[in-house]
Amino acid sequence: MKKHSIDYTTKTGTLQKSTVGTSLFWMIALLIGIFIFSGCLREANAQGNKANVKVGAYYFDGWAGKNKLADNPNEPWAKNAPTHLTKRFVRDFSEREPVWGWRDDSMEIMERQIDLAADNGLDFFLFCWYWKDNKGPINISAIEKDHHHTSMELYMKAKNRNRLKYSLLVANHAGFEILGNENWESAVKYWTRFFRDPQYIKVDGKPLVVIFGTGDDAITDEQIAIMQETAKKEGFKDGLSIAGCGAPARKKAFTHSTHYNLTSGYADGHEEHKFQELIDKAKPNWKGSEAQPYIPVLNSGWDKRPWEGPEGLNQKEGWYFPDSSPELFKSFLKDAVKWMDDNPTKTTKERLILVYAWNELGEGGYLVPTKGDPGAAKLKMIKEVIDGK
């Protein structure tokens, strides 16, 4: 069969094949351009939906040191147990055991936690810090031997610590009380070793310290002023950002206010409640002012049954909220972001959010991966909210 070349005709004449090829080229180029542009637009929209926040989690180190029953042959579970593990914990709440085990006092585990936190949207840990000696003058040797500080010391030496910042939560409560003007001055002088660290978190350009225990007998306005003056003498010309925990903080000279956690029924008897009740309790406390901005706090959970009773830490029975879920936590976090969006002058310019907690396993407030939740579902919710998903 004879082959024929094909002419494309129009009303005005013949459109040669070369013209058709050129038209097809530009059509394809246009489609590619549209595809690239739409991809860029989607990326821009995704960036625009990201939550501009910095999330920190409280870190409690009860998972080092020697359990008081470690040498008791009748308690084999305690042989290599950390200080805050209990028989009731092991027997009835074993699903809370972290995937790396009950202990956290090795460099390998600390570096693993830093990566885990940073990969999932956390910006910093707030390490619980404890005074020695209780109600007495500073005892630096005892402070540096205290198992409560083991994880922070490991963090300070971790090779990947640049991925995660940190701050101090001063546990100024029974057993670790800082009393008197002189001791608050000594405390700040000791803390300056941390304040000078580039990894230490700052608010308004000043090192952030969070104080737990802010009642009238715990700390006074005069002592807060001493903290500020001491910091200035130590080279921090603008002083400190000092956030007090709880309602008393709002009546004092703290630069900021916040909470450690917000719970109900701490010692009101064995009662099961819905986690939504804790969410509803927390939100009315998210209120601040230009003079004293508030850092919103949200509980990741609350259930301290492992520490209750004679096979626990002899704590009194209280309410527990076993239905906390990743979905509820995610919604809770989104509400905190929205509160800051709606109240920009009543919170920190850095838009900090604090989570209770990274590893309060005994009280049910934790983000770490456990045998019952190896995927750390709540922790992953932080990244989803930050990424705007």
pLDDT in tens, 145-171: 999 999 999 999 999 999 999 999 999
What distances in angstroms separate CA 226 from CA 180, 239, 253, one per listed residue? 11, 10, 11
Kindly state the percentage of the chain with pLDDT values over 90.
Answer: 86
**pLDDT single digits (tens) 287-315:** 999 999 999 999 999 999 999 999 999 99
Q: How confident is the model at residue 32 (pLDDT cuts 50, 70, 90)?
A: low
How far is Cα 245 from Cα 208, in angstroms, rounded to an integer?
13
What's this model's pTM, rounded to 2 decimal places?
0.88
pLDDT value at residue 44: 40
CA distance linking residue 260 with residue 264, whole number of Å: 13
Cβ atoms of 81 and 102 closer than 8 Å: yes
- Categorize the per-residue pLDDT at 50 as very low, low, confident or very high, splitting at 50, 70 and 90: confident
Residue 6 pLDDT exceeds 60: no
Task: Tell me how many degrees the CA angle 314-318-320 measures, rounded to the nearest 5.
Answer: 120
pLDDT tens-digit series, residues 76-93: 999 999 999 999 999 999
The per-residue pLDDT for range 233-265, each reduced to its tens digit, is 999 999 999 999 999 999 999 999 999 999 999
- Beta strands 206-212 and 165-171 are parallel
Q: Is the pLDDT of residue 101 over 60?
A: yes
The span from the CA of 12 to the CA of 23, in Å, is: 17
User: CB neighbours of 204 closer than 8 A, spacing ≥ 6?
Assistant: 238, 241, 255, 348, 349
